[in-house]
Structure 1
Amino acid sequence: MNSLSTPIQIIRPETIEFGSGTIAAVARFAKAKNAKRPLVIADAFNAARVDVLALPGDLSVFGEVKPEPDIPNLEKALAVARTARPDLVIGFGGGSAMDLAKLVAVLCTGSPTLADVVGVDKIAGRAVALVQVPTTSGTGSEGGIRALVTDPATRNKAAVQSPFMLADLAVVDPDLTMTVPPQVTAATGVDALAHCVEAYTSRRAHPAIDLYAIEGIRLVGRYLNRAVKDGTDREARSGLSLASLYGGFCLGPVNTTAGHAVAYPLGTRHHVAHGLACAVIFPHTLAFNMPATEAKTAAVLQSLGLPAAGTPAAAFDHAYRFCADLGIEMRLSALGVPADDLGAMADEAHAIRRLLDNNPRDLGRDAILQIYHAAF
């Protein structure tokens, strides 16, 4: 864990508009920038309601963002962008739409390809403005500098990280999340929780980021169940939107750990939604890491409003019940993951060193396989 004297860069969008009705800030920004050719990157649902953005100029829309987008999906978006020649890109949707918007914004001009920029700080700049508008409360992608797409050849996620992918404006209007169904609300809420918990317990954890992490955890504990039970609860939706944003703040300087590494193969190999995959894995990695993070695990449980746990088994039980009580299916077998693929999944997860090396406790391939079997 890093000390207060350890240097850290806290990365946030230049401007953040937060609260009910702030969607109007998108049009104000576009007009202030004199945008003539805005391009919206969205899934089909949000593509059908782009009118709420009230964008000026010759509007183009790429409305085919897939859950867990892959490289072909990115290439289709880039083809639209190269025809539209946008001066403003808007990510409008969940993390998938916002991640593709980041990549489109940095790749739609010039000659770099995705292969040229995979990794850390390989982007030279960005020529178009970028706005992010989340419509779910989970990824926090509106506040971060990373984008992920799946390579279908390897079934692994290609990660790009650069401050040039940070939004000029993030508009977090909780009213846009009111139509999210209960099951998606639950899973994406646990994704936000996982971002905060993994950053808080990481080897790279830092007190300046712990503030966002522990408050994000508290907000999820207070509001997630309320939002699942009543999607029109504006206070609960606002609390979750803030928790998600705080989770995004955690990702830039610290990033996630084993929870996400173990969850990724569920999405890339078996198309389990990312938030759901994180929820299934969350109790297992929380309990696994507890011997190395006992005080912080206690703080996590307390912030969630859960009972204290003297043992990893008790921590697992409390976290598992928290997720299951939200209506989340916690068994891999019920999510269509075949038992004969668990070994290959463990191999893939164990290779994600950029995350596993952050984990507070070494997690070997056999231990990952044990987690999969326990979750099966």
Structure 2
Amino acid sequence: MSNLDRPISMVRPGLIEFGTGVAERLGTWAESKGFRRVLVISDAFNASRTDVLGLTGEVTVYGDVKAEPDTGDLDCVLSAAEGARADLIVGFGGGSAMDLAKLVAVLSGSSQRLADVVGAGKVAGPREIALAQVPTTSGTGSEAGIRALVTDPETKAKLAVESIHMLADIAVIDPALTFTVPPKVTAATGVDAMAHCVEAFTNRKAHPAVDIYAIEGVRLVGRYLARAVHDGKDAEARAGLSLASLYGGYCLGPVNTAGGHALAYPLGTRWHVAHGAANALIFPHVLAFNTPAVPEKTSAVLEALGLSASQEIKSVFDAAHEFCASLGIEMKLRQLGVLANDLGTMADDAFAIRRLLDNNPRDLSRADILAIYEAAF
């Protein structure tokens, strides 16, 4: 079934600047729009190089973003936004910085709070503050999407907000900003970009209008990820991964991810495993599990990665596992500090993420999820 007759809504940032050396175009754009007070939301490393963005006027930098931010981190950034009185918010970093930028853009100066907007379509709009996104990794595709995630520190659950009002006015994607990303992070974030594409391509909501981006994103990762891991300054490879990440972002809005991300999230919220690394470890297990439900598309994924096509579960797993392991990615949960006695709780957490599991092409029971965690342990 192609789903070709199913209605679909597709959105993109108002302006996308893509290419090596385009980072400073953000400043040109901001000046042309008359923005004078800018808040840049970033991690510590990227906070030290905001000058590449070419911004002028009153520029405030919040540089304390950490991986897997929680509601307390969001409160801190909202406080910074209140002090800056910004008319432009810039997310400058990986998915954590860009997700916080989305939430700050719609919540700063609003009567709404996070609890009011968790879910889909609950943000009151239009927003009063402009939003720009500048990714410095090639993985999340958050620059192109309308979703943001923060962790509830008490429940360890991801709180997801989805709103058209969180769509960036401009996304500036400069592959040169990714040249300094270390090999292990390059590998993990690259597989995260691929996972977005694969999970959309094999999704119950899959649609031909998105499939074309999804499978091309997989091809780009297959062609360029190993090259970028080997040589971080390979400009063509970095550009290929930046484009793959952007295409993954295109997939997230109308289709979204599925079982792979649902199983990866507890690794981040409970054990602080980086999101890309968590997705890479889980990826072969869920791809293989889903094979009986989407055999042709699974074969297409393997071929796009440059691997031998297969519709046999073990062969699919072995090929996908070797692809990730060959990049230097840790593929055992126990090596990441996860304890065996927590696998059941992780399975409970993952099984509760219905917004993603309901997209999976094959039903994942709690027992199935636990079995995957045990196999990955």
- TM class by shorter chain equals over 0.9
Equivalent residue, structure 2, for 1:99: 99
Q: Which residue of the partner structure matches residue 333 of structure 2?
A: 332
Q: Which residue is equivalent to 1:366?
A: 367
**Alignment partners' CA distance in 2, 1:212 and 1:88:** 30
Matched, 1:155 2:156: yes
Partners of 2:11 and 2:253 within 8 A in 1 = yes
Aligned to 1:49: 49
Asked if structure 2 preserves the Cα contact closer than 8 Å seen for 1:92 and 1:135, the reply is yes
Q: Is the 8 A contact 1:2 1:203 kept in 2?
A: no
2:76 — aligned with what? 76
Report the Cα distance in structure 1 between the residues aligned to 2:311 and 2:256, rounded to whole angstroms.
Answer: 27
The CA distance in 1 between the partners of 2:175 and 2:138, in whole Å, is 8
Aligned to 2:31: 31
Q: How far off its partner does 1:310 sit?
A: 3.6
CA contact (8 A) 1:2 1:204 kept: no
Give the counterpart letter for 1:24 in structure 2: E
Conserved? CA contact 1:288–1:312, under 8 Å: yes
3-state SS of paired residue (1:245) = helix
Q: Runs ≥4 in structure 1, deviation > 2 angstroms? A: none
Q: What is the one-letter code of the residue matched to 1:97?
A: A
CA contact (8 A) 1:224 1:240 kept: yes
Q: How many residues align?
A: 376
Which blocks of at least 5 consecutive residues in structure 2 are unaligned?
A: none
Q: Percent identity?
A: 67
1:261-288 CA-to-partner distances (Å, cap 9, x unmatched) read 0000000000000000000000000000
CA–CA separation in structure 2 for the residues paired with 1:135 and 1:145: 18
Mapping for residues 170-319 of structure 1, pairs under 5 Å? 170-319=171-320
Give secondary structure in 2 for the equivalent of 1:306: coil
- Give the AA of the match of 2:226: N
1:198-246 deviation per Cα after TM superposition (whole angstroms, max 9, x unaligned): 0000000000000000000000000000000000100000000000000
2:311 and 2:255 map into 1 onto residues whose CA distance is 27
Give the whole-Å Cα distance in 1 for the aligned partners of 2:233 and 2:55: 27
What TM-score do the two structures reach when normalised by structure 1? Answer: 0.99
| Per-residue CA distance 1:302-325 (angstroms, 9 max, x = gap) | 000001224111000000000000
Matched, 1:351 2:352: yes
Query: Using the alignment, how far apart are the partners of 1:66 and 1:3 within structure 2?
Result: 39
Per-residue deviation, 1:2:
5.1
> Post-superposition shift, 1:109?
1.3
